[in-house]
Structure 1
């Protein structure tokens, strides 16, 4: 890693040319609370890496434990085979908050919150660490659920690979400005507006083959119809990792 322009602290990641927000510095954040909150309110990320000079970017489910990021996939996955020995990777998450329609095409935009995390991704090879990670792959999102499930077989565990990456560098970028026209354009008779965007949880649809007497458990307490998904995910993370 390059030498940091701003060294790491107990509450912020180091900043250098790799993760420093180049344009609109006022939108850049490097502190742990901001970065971690954006990660914990998400379930889907994109992991970028290179194989023999060819870039790839793969969507996958992920979760955070402290300054470690985990994701999983098939043991036959090209992505996981490439990262198994420790390779540079970049994991990104984006929350879309609004579509912004201005009075000029140049000023059309979107409000968003995003985060980029850099580090060395490696395969989780230790059997016990892998088993624990596979439990948290479920329990991070649905706290306590694994204990009541049919336990995974050895062949299922073998078919699943887990990758871990320590966050060495990270930056968040946030736009929350809404409509921002040039001052003279506000006098134009052109409609402009902000269209808020939210992902909401729909009405649960129980499996039609659910046995009589089986009820929805406390592992799904955060997930109620009409609630914002990111709020449910963030609360589930706090319950899965108290303190």
Structure 2
């Protein structure tokens, strides 16, 4: 950890392979900013749930949105303590023993409670930030949200105050007693590639720069 690291809480302290932990905001922000989806675990009267949803970050908060009628969003507004997970799988790691096989990954866990973004100006700004994350520059080209659409949408945010990052890179860590075993070892990486933009059959506009660049940008 560096000087900017946040002290871990009892539930964010990484105990299993603790050397892979990172509590710095920079590491946390990088993982969130590279993601389009998060998974939210919560409990209601029907049991425990883990639901995927779109996410984005503004400053020290992670944002989500949905319909006013969303069961999950309604529950999250009832002072529900939640856990939010973001994970990127980067590769499989093949070792000399079955036990030492592992994966390379970047993961973040966020604990706390969501709050509603009630201010209309902040709600609009948050939705604009989501559009800019999806396709920078597109916001200026599309029809903006109507009053009716904004009124039907709930925007929530959770502070990035109680979080932990765990990430692994590199090859296998073989036991000394296994080094004489003859077998291929190494990494099988996942490439997070992007395909070429596909125009809708009813499209009537030229390909914009952000869509043309999609295939060549790193995910």
Q: TM-score, normalised by structure 2?
A: 0.90
Superposed counterparts of 1:136-155, under 5 Å: 136-155=129-148
Aligned residue in 2 for 1:237: none
What SS does the aligned partner of 2:72 have? helix
Aligned equivalent of 2:180 = 187
Alpha-carbon distance in structure 2 between the residues aligned to 1:65 and 1:43: 14
Residue matched to 1:159 = 152
Q: TM-score, normalised by structure 1?
A: 0.82
SS state at 1:87 partner: coil
Question: Does residue 1:39 correspond to 2:32, yes or no?
Answer: yes
Q: Which residue of 2 aligns with 1:129?
A: 122
Matched residue, 1:59: 52
How many correspondences in the alignment?
Answer: 218
Alpha-carbon offset, residue 38 of structure 1: 1.1
Q: CA RMSD in A?
A: 2.1
Matches within 5 A, 1:192-203: 192-203=185-196
Structure 1: distance between partners of 2:218 and 2:191: 7
The gaps in structure 1 that reach 5 residues or longer are 1-8, 230-243
Question: How far apart, in 2, do the equivalents of 1:191 and 1:218 lie?
Answer: 43
Matches within 5 A, 1:1-12: 11-12=4-5
Task: Report the equivalent of 1:113.
Answer: 106
Question: Against the structure 1 CA distance between its residues 180 and 93, is the aligned structure 2 distance closer, same or farther, given a 3 Å change threshold?
Answer: same
Q: Determine which of 79, 88, 99 is the counterpart of 2:81.
A: 88
